[in-house]
Every structure is written in C-alpha cells, then in structure tokens.
Structure 1
Amino acid sequence: MGKGDIDSIDKTMPATVPFFSDPAKRSILFQLVAMLIIGLLGYYLLTNTMANLERQAIATGLGFLEKESSFEIGESLISYSAADTYGRALLVGVLNTLIVSFIGVVLTVILGTFIGVARLSTNWLVSRLAAVYIEVFQDIPVLLQLFFWYALFYKLLPSPRQALNPAAAIFISNRGLVFPVPASHPAHKYMAAAFLGGCLCVYLLRRWARKRQARTGKVFPVFSVSVGILAGFPVIVWWLAGTPAAMDVPALVGFNFEGGVNISPEFGALLLGLVLYTAAFVAEVVRAGIQSVSHGQTEAAMSLGLKPGQVLNLVILPQALRVIIPPLTSQMLNLTKNSSLAVAIGYPDFVSVAGTTINQTGQAMEGIAMMMVVYLFLSLTTSAFMNWYNKKTALVER
C-alpha cells in the first residue's frame, strides 16, 4: 500500500474530537450541571422552609381543604354555604374568576376591534372620538377605573325600594341589575346540548363553504345559515319538550330582590373597568395590524368591485391577523391577571377567597401556591389556544 493510499484513508476516517472541544457534548454537560445546581438549591430552600415551619409549629399540607370554611361568599355560580369546605369555597372563587375573564375577553376583543377600525375611519369625527377614547382609557390606571365605576354605581343608583324599572320585571338599583330568567326545567340541558351541536355544525359548515368558494368562486351565505342553526336547534328541542314557558321573576322582599338573576355592582364595575381599559390597548393592536397590510391590497380589492365591508373582512383582516394575534394574546393575559384586582371592590374572585382562606387557616404558603398555579394554568391555556389559532390563520405561501 502506497503513501497516497494511506493519506486517502486518513482523510476519510473521522477525527477524534476531545470532549471539551465538542460544542454539542459540552452544552449537554453544562445543562446537566445547571439542572443539578437548581435542584440542589430548590432542595435546600424546601428543607429549610419545612424546618422553619415545624420549629414555629405552623401547620402545612392541604388537609385544610376538607375543613368547614365558616364564611359566606356573596356571588357563586354553584351552590355554596358557610358549612361547605374550603375546597368548595376556592372552587367558587375559581369559577368567579373564569366567568369574569371569559366574558371580559370576548367583550374586549369585540369593542377593541370596533374602536381600532374606527380609529382608521375616513370620517374625521369618528376617528377623533376613537383616538380620544384610546388616550383617555390607556392613561388612567385600571384600579382607579374600577373604583370610579364601583362608586358611580353605588352613588347614582337608588336603593332597592326605589329601584328603576325600565321594563317589566327588570330592576336596577345599587344592589345590581335584576331580571327574570326561565324557571329550572329538564329541557334546558338538552337545549344547551343542542346549541353546542349547532356550534359544531356551524364550524363544519364554514369549512365546507370556504372549500366550495375556493373551488367554484361561489359565496355561501354562512352567516344567515349559522344564525338559523344556532337559534333553530334549541327552539326545536324546546318545542319537542312541550314549550316550557315558566319564568323565575324577581320580586322585592324586605330590603332586597329575590328570584331571577342578579348582576351585582361589584361584577358590573369589574367587568366594565377591565373591558374599557384593555379594549383601548386592543384597539391600537388592531390599528397596527390593519396598517401593516399594503394599501395596494385594498386598491386591488376595490377594483374588483368589493364593498368596503367585504374588503375589510375578506382581504384586510385575514392578512392583519398575523400581526394582531401575538400582542392580542398578551392583552388577553393582562385582562385575566388584572381580574385579581377584584378584591379592591369586593368581588369574590379567586384571590379574594384565597386571601380569606389564608387569614382563617394561617397556611399562607399553600394559599399563595394555589394562586400561582391557578393563574399559571389560565395563562398557559390562553397562550396554547392563541398559538393554535395563530398557526391556523397563518398565511401559507404556495
């Protein structure tokens, strides 16, 4: 074998790289060392904390969740009394936080989109009013807005005996808005199931209509058909169940109303403050997203004979979503976390209920840990949904 053959073999054989000279192996080692240090630090903090708690004779663990709470909660989506456990009380707080966050996010997106589009209106008055709204509500801290609406409701609205009665069985007072609702009936759960089935049908219909439009160019009236499905399915179930029409009508008993549904001033002030504040930021997000779309897209759409509403819905917004969704996700998370300010105006959200639990049981670590876990779960769930929606609406270049 000649020297040339040996040189060719040496060139084809992989060179042995020392461990610390290999970036991939070195990075793995550094990550393992970092994980070990963090683990040891966490173990030290945990053992030190447990030892200090034991030295101070402070109870630990989640056993308190099975004990009687012994405090009332003003608003609850599920049945609750002071005889129930701390676990059920915390569940009530979580549900209260969820309902105000969900309704707040929906209303914020609707209002923020409307204000953002109005901000770009060619009508000078509409554009200026939208700009004033954005500047005013962005520059006032949300906590002050909550105090303002809460005080406004209690100062301007009359007592229950002098409650405003704008329509039959609807009363507005400083105890809240009270209105009648259908009395409990077994058919209602089937109507709710029919509505959810209608939502699934609408989703499948929209997918089919888009594919049909892309294939044939024909536009299917999705909106009107969807409204008919969502309203028609529950009505059909209601009719098949015998058309139950009994109503739970509120009535003044003593110094307050009984019956119907009561939207408290605390809930109204919290929802109004969060929505108006966050919608101002969402409006700017929507405005920036719309302005990111090239003006040539609008001119091309108008040249095809599309109406302004069609241009906005079919051309501008689908392209603007890729810019709107990431900052919109942040604003949705901000609204959910800002709902913890409810404790300032007396609305029993999760932070308020957990705070009362901590004061009664003395188990602050567990209570604070549960707050962190609940808000972390809400934030991660919202982010996961918005990331999925972002991928779904992403423009794919072909």
Structure 2
Amino acid sequence: MKSNQQIILTYRSIPNLETCNATSSHIDISDFKHQPNFKPKISNNGFACISMLGKKETKEFEPTTSQFLKHPLALVALVPRDVALFAAGAIAGAAAKTFTAPLDRIKLLMQTHGVRVGQESAKKAMGFFEAITVIGKDEGIKGYWKGNLPQVIRVIPYSAVQLFAYETYKKLFRGKDDELSVWGRLAAGACAGMTSTFVTYPLDVLRLRLAVEPGYRTMSQVALSMLREEGFTAFYNGLGPSLIGIAPYIAVNFCIFDLVKKSLPEKYQKRPETSFVTALVSATIATLTCYPLDTIRRQMQMRGTPYNTVLDAFAGILERDGWIGLYRGFVPNALKNLPNSSIRLTTFDSVKSLVAASEKEFQRIVEENRKEAKAS
C-alpha cells in the first residue's frame, strides 16, 4: 500500500450513543476512486467517521511562487505553528526588556540598597530620583543599560518558554467538555511561570550581580567568581521565593488577560489596542499582589545576604524597613512591568492572529487551484 494513499479511520464519541468495539483494517484510497459505492467493512455495526488525507493531492495544488509573491501572507503558513509562536515570544520578550531596561536597573538599586550599604545604614533607603542621579553620575548613559545583555539573553528563552508553555498547559488542563475553567487557566499560568523561571534562573542571578555589584564587567567574570567563592548552588539562591512569586503573578496576569478578552464583543477581541489595554489591567493587578515576594527574592540573591529562608527575609525586611520595605522600588517596577507585559502579550496575540490568517489564506489559494484544475 502506498503511504500517500492511506485512509485514516477516526472514531469519535457521540453523546447518548452506545459505544462498541469497531475495528477496520487500512483502506486503500484507490477503492474509493475505482468503486464509487465502496464501503469499508466495520465489525459490530460500529459508527465511524472516515477522514481521507490526500497529502500528495494537496501538495499538487499548493501556491506557486507567483501566488506567494501576490499573497505574501500565505508564506507564514509554511512555518510550523509552534515554531512561529515560540519565536514570537522570544522576540517580544527581548524588545520589551531592552525598552524598559533603565527602569529595571533603577528598581534593582532601590530594592537592594539596604543589603549593599550594610546593617548600620540599612534604614536609609534610596529614592527613585536619587537612583537615577547616582547611575547617571557614576556610570553615564550606558549605566542605565548595565546588565541588559544577560537580561536579554535570559528573557529570550524565558519569554518563549513561558508563552509557549502557557498554550501547552492550557490544552493539558482542559476539562472533558474541552472547556478551560478559571482554575484551569490559573494552573496553566502558574505552571508556565515556574517552568520558565526554573529553566532560566541562573541567568537572572548573573544579571542581578552584574547590575548591582561593582568590579564586574562581563557575565563570565561574575559566573567564574561565583563558582570559585560560593559554589554552584549560588546560581539558585532565592529560587524558592522566585517560584512562589512567579507562579501567582503569571497565573493572575494571564488568567485575567484571557478572561477579560473573552468577555469582550468578538469584533474587539482581535484588535491590538484591546490586547494592550487588557494586558495593562492584568499586569497591574498581578504586580500589586505579588511584588513583596520579588523584593524578598532579590535580597536573598545578594552576596553576603543574612537571609536563608523566605520567612527570615520577610521578618528581616519588616523589622528594618516596615511594610513599605516590601514595596521598595515598586514605582519603577510598575512603570517597567506594565509596558513590558503589554508589549509581550500584545505581540504574542498579534502573531497568533497572523498565523491563523496565513493558514486561512494558504487554504484559500489551495482551494482556488483545485477548482481551476477541476474546471480545466
């Protein structure tokens, strides 16, 4: 039997229909071509749905080069969907991080100031405008992007894995009716956030050390110093609060984004501005909820940190700075995260729509070619 002329026999469950064990051998497509009244034999009088995949036939009607030039959107359909979505997440993450890098550097200095200056001056906090001035005075314009390269290197796999994993986990958590509940969306977001964090966490630690500790110029210098002086486990300092912090953040962020968009009229759902505004709302709520865990994580990542556990860090920050200490650096973080999240989700959403449109355009051209061939 020729592989490109094989029939795929698919059985589907139908509500309120008694099931039976139906079996059938492979069927050659030539039986259908030469015998119009041919019917496959299925035991036990079972119900079957037959789907014929004529790959060779479809290949014959694929768009030509001239058709691709006239309809370039169809070219996107040649890229596997998963590859396109993975690449979209990577590009969106890198662009968003580079755009907001100065605010991220300011936030890190504000968050870690107490640990860096020592216990005697720990109560003296660094303000937003003070951090801007210090960076500009000591390091110049380039200082605002210090540590951005490892951040971009980290965010490419981080963003790609996170967004791609979210789509994968959503399929996993769908119920029997193929619907995704609110709890299913939250679980998918939490798992996606933890997966991407665990995979890229060492790069996040390197980025922090490069951004706030003097004397280092490259990632390799930081990595070698950490291996010599602190050991491999230093690359995972603060992983616990990172996982605890990112799980609810991504869960709330992605879940609200999906639900708000789903509740809007269909004509607005696919618009980029709708995605942008929806992402702003979801990111704001998620940031307010989960920011204290991010502060705890950063202080546990520092060299010479006095904290061994999340509870130690929580109590220590409260004792030294009070509740406001848990939200130190919140303003630049909010200014950074809100456009960051909006850019990422909007880009990812737009690419998903682009991929769907390209597949539709590709199939339209194939159908036109098939009709023309049949007419001739």
With normalisation by structure 1, the TM-score equals 0.30
Structure holding more strand per residue: 1
With normalisation by structure 2, the TM-score equals 0.31
Larger Rg: 1
